[in-house]
Amino acid sequence: MISLTQYSGMQTPTFIGFQNYIAAFADPMVHTSVGNTVYYMLLAVPIGLIVALLLAMAMNRNVREVAIYRTLLYLPSLIPMFAMSFIFIVFVNPQFGIVNQFLGLFGMPDTNLLGEPRYAKIVMIVMAQLGAGNAALIYLAGLRNIPETLYEAARIDGAGKFRQFFSITVPLLTPTILFNLITGVSGAMMVFTEAFIMTNGGPDNSTLFYMLYLYRNAFSYGQLGFASALAVLLFLFGMVLAGLIYWLSRRFVNYDVSAG
User: Is residue 258 scored above 60 in pLDDT?
Assistant: no
Phi-psi region of 204 (alpha: psi -120 to 50; beta: other; left: phi over 0): left
Q: How far apart are CA 254 and CA 148, in angstroms?
A: 18
User: Is residue 252 scored above 50 in pLDDT?
Assistant: yes
Q: List, for residues 123-149, the tens digit of each pLDDT value.
A: 999 999 988 989 999 999 999 988 889
**DSSP single-letter state for residue 97:** -
| Contacts for 129 with CB less than 8 Å, ≥ 6 apart | 44, 47, 48, 51
Q: List, for residues 184-197, the tens digit of each pLDDT value.
A: 999 999 999 999 99
Query: How many Å from the N-terminal Cα to the C-terminal Cα in the chain?
Result: 50
User: pTM for the complete prediction?
Assistant: 0.91
What is the predicted pLDDT for the residue at 212?
Answer: 96
Backbone angles phi, psi at 57, to 5 degrees: -65, -35
Residues forming beta bridges with residue 15, ordered by sequence position: 5
